């Protein structure tokens, strides 16, 4: 059975996309980040639905580090 995926749309500063991507990647199995429009800072994060709370916690942790991350949509 394939896991259900949750999708989180974010707007972030272009300079932080690489850092955010590598941070998520370092949390093996938590999810992955796709850059949709680097100039506009639009990215999409995919995470297993059962780990959505953990991913949102990771995003909050990055915000607490001072990164400007705006959650546009969660589905």
Encode pLDDT of 8-51 as tens digits: 999 999 999 999 999 999 999 999 999 999 999 999 999 999 99
CA angle 14, 59, 52 (to 5 degrees): 125
- What is the C-alpha to C-alpha distance for residues 63 and 66, in angstroms, rounded to an integer? 5
Contacts of 18 (CB under 8 A, 6+ apart): none
Number of domains making up the chain: 1
| pLDDT, position 21 | 97
* Phi, psi angles (nearest 5°) of residue 36: -90, -45
Whichever domain contains 12, its CATH number is: 3.30.70.920
pLDDT tier for residue 3 given thresholds of 50, 70 and 90: confident
Q: Which residues of 16-47 are buried (b: 16+ CB within 10 A; e: fewer)?
A: bbeebbebbeeeeebbebeeeeeeebbbebeb
Domain that holds residue 19: 5-74
């Amino acid at each position: 059975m394939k896991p259900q995926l949750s999708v989180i749309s974010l707007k972030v500063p272009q300079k932080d996309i690489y850092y955010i991507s590598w941070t998520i990647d370092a949390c093996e199995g938590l999810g992955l980040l796709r850059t949709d429009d680097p100039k506009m800072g639009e990215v999409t994060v995919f995470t297993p639905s059962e780990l959505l709370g953990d991913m949102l916690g990771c995003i909050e942790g990055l915000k607490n580090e001072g990164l400007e991350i705006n959650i546009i949509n969660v589905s």
